[in-house]
Amino acid sequence: MFYICQAPGCGSRAATRYGIYCSSHKAQLRRHGAIGQRAITKADLKLYRALVAARLEKNKDKPLLTQLEARWGAVLTYAESVREEARRKPMVRYRREAAIEMLRIGKNVQPGDVIETVLAMYVMQDQQPRCFKSDQAFRTQKVRRVRGLTRLNADAWTDAKTGKRKLVYRDLGQRTVTIMGGWIAEALGPAGIMFARLERKDHEKKQEALLAFRDALGSME
């Protein structure tokens, strides 16, 4: 006997005998970090990236960006040491995979791009919390957006029959994503939370100014 997929409103057969989700919901969970989680796109993040870029610009006389770049650099140095360690002795596959993936991102993407994207994710999470079904979904989407800065989630290969180059999009396992998400959060999370808080404060200030203006209008004689 088979179980029915537990995703709301699905009703398909579970993918495996003891599984709780059908194959498409299983894939969604792996790819997006939660059932019902939609992909956060580059377009979704655009506004938040602009806010982050503006704040970095506003603070350009402070060593903020340099420090963030150093923190990102430290993640890459750490990933390098993990990769070296993996050459010398056996290691859990996910850890090695996470290190290799981080190094590929480091090689292909400008640090400033990674930083802006990650901080923008924190601001978006703060302003649109309903866009993220869970912490794991947020972590997964954050890693997805960072990987999306390069084409590295696609492996190119040549079709023997047609001679055409094809791209195969590779999904990382949940555990690899969790490790990567953890490293990114450790390096840039505190700044992300701070940026989100400052954006919120600015927003509240604007609202207060608007209310004060309305009050002033209301008390006019």
How many C-beta atoms lie closer than 10 Å to residue 108's C-beta?
13
Stretch that binds Zn ion, among 24-32, 67-75, 133-141, 156-164 (CB under 5 A): 24-32
Stretch that binds Zn ion, among 10-18, 42-50, 142-150, 173-181 (CB under 5 A): 10-18
Q: Of the two residues 20 and 194, which places its CB atom closer to Zn ion in the complex? A: 20
CA dist., res. 151 & res. 37, Å (int):
22
Residue 13 phi, psi dihedral angles, 5° rounding = -70, 145
Give the nearest distance from C-beta 26 to Zn ion in angstroms: 8
Binder among 1, 2, 7, 142 for Zn ion (CB under 5 A) = 7
Q: Of the two residues 10 and 100, which places its CB atom closer to Zn ion in the complex? A: 10
Binder among 3, 12, 69, 71 for Zn ion (CB under 5 A) = 12
Residue 118 Cα distances to 72, 115, 149, 158, angstroms: 11, 5, 11, 33
Under rule CB under 5 A, residue 22 binds Zn ion: yes
Under rule CB under 5 A, residue 25 binds Zn ion: yes
Give the nearest distance from C-beta 22 to Zn ion in angstroms: 3
CA dist., res. 80 & res. 148, Å (int):
21
Binder among 3, 10, 133, 174 for Zn ion (CB under 5 A) = 10
Under rule CB under 5 A, residue 23 binds Zn ion: no
DSSP-assigned letter for residue 158: E
Sign of CA dihedral 42, 47, 48, 49: positive
Under rule CB under 5 A, residue 96 binds Zn ion: no
Residue 147 Cα distances to 3, 49, 108, 180, 207, angstroms: 35, 16, 10, 11, 36
Residues that bind Zn ion (CB under 5 A): 5, 7, 10, 12, 22, 25
